Structure 1
């Protein structure tokens, strides 16, 4: 593994295969991994986005409604996003997953 920038490293596909656990640990620490094959970039692996993770966690806990959040186009509208409607089955995670799938379909 070789360092390109302070927050990114470049590794070969073979290094990735042999050192997957170490690569994941570096991702957990916020580094970006650039994967090369025969000297050419074939992939860029990014660490999780803290903001996206916070939104996903809030949705999983039923604190926000992802469908409503997806419709918000301005900061004012985003600030008015309500809690997710209560599920009669209490299956918030499944509903959040369904909302994410619907959001992906809208792209």
Structure 2
């Protein structure tokens, strides 16, 4: 994920947003602290952008090999994905 300062963003917001349109997620920082995350609409990162901005989690780039080895879950819209993961963890602990 790329990082730009508020100052850089203010100089040319159109260029930064064009990068986001092309699929890049960008952190906006003020004095080294992340204050916003710009991500393409509909991206999986939308779920976590507020947590990253608050400093509660940090995301690291994932390689293609790592991505393919991760489990994939089909979650129906009426099911809470967190509840599904917690249930799986409970099964693993048994």
Q: Normalized against structure 2, the TM-score is what?
A: 0.44
Larger Rg: 1
